[in-house]
């Protein structure tokens, strides 16, 4: 029994950590939309659909308006300088991110230097 448990515990740990793997997405900022309700909606080359990142007026999925303004600044800089961005999501691959308001907020957004 002890031998069985010594093999089972590492396997369960591996399965639990692999199921919560995060994903980096790299790409161009195609379109930035700011809605009247404060939503910041972005179309990127890695998704080719619109995804709401955050809200500039109210907290959305644990992203404060102040942090959202920082994300907007990064997106505008990337668009103006023709640089790619990197975003990180706790779930979903870049290609399977839900779209529009169903999208999860990215954990971070940054300029990607190649």
Structural domain count of the chain: 1
* Per-10-residue mean pLDDT, the chain, length 114: 48 42 94 98 97 98 98 98 97 94 97 90
Predicted pLDDT of residue 21 = 73
Predicted pLDDT of residue 3 = 55
Between the CA of residue 22 and those of 25, 79, 88, what are the distances in Å?
10, 25, 7
Give pTM, 2 decimals.
0.80
Whether 94 is covered by a domain: the verdict is yes
Contact 99, 50 (CB under 8 A): yes
Between the CA of residue 113 and those of 27, 46, 47, what are the distances in Å?
11, 16, 19
Predicted pLDDT of residue 79 = 98
Domain containing 75 equals 21-112
Contact 56, 70 (CB under 8 A): no
Whether 15 is covered by a domain: the verdict is no
Predicted pLDDT of residue 2 = 57
- CATH number for position 75: 2.40.50.70
Whether 1 is covered by a domain: the verdict is no
């Amino acid at each position: 029994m002890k031998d069985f448990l010594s093999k089972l515990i590492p396997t369960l740990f591996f399965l639990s950590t692999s199921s919560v793997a995060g994903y980096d997405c790299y790409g161009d900022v195609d379109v930035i939309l700011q809605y009247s309700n404060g939503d910041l909606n972005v179309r990127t080359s890695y998704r080719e659909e619109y995804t709401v990142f955050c809200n500039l007026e109210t907290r959305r999925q644990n992203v404060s308006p102040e942090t959202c303004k920082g994300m907007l600044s990064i997106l505008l800089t990337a668009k103006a300088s023709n640089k790619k961005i990197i975003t990180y999501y706790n779930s979903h691959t870049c290609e399977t991110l839900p779209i529009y308001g169903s999208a999860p907020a990215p954990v971070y957004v940054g300029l990607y230097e190649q």
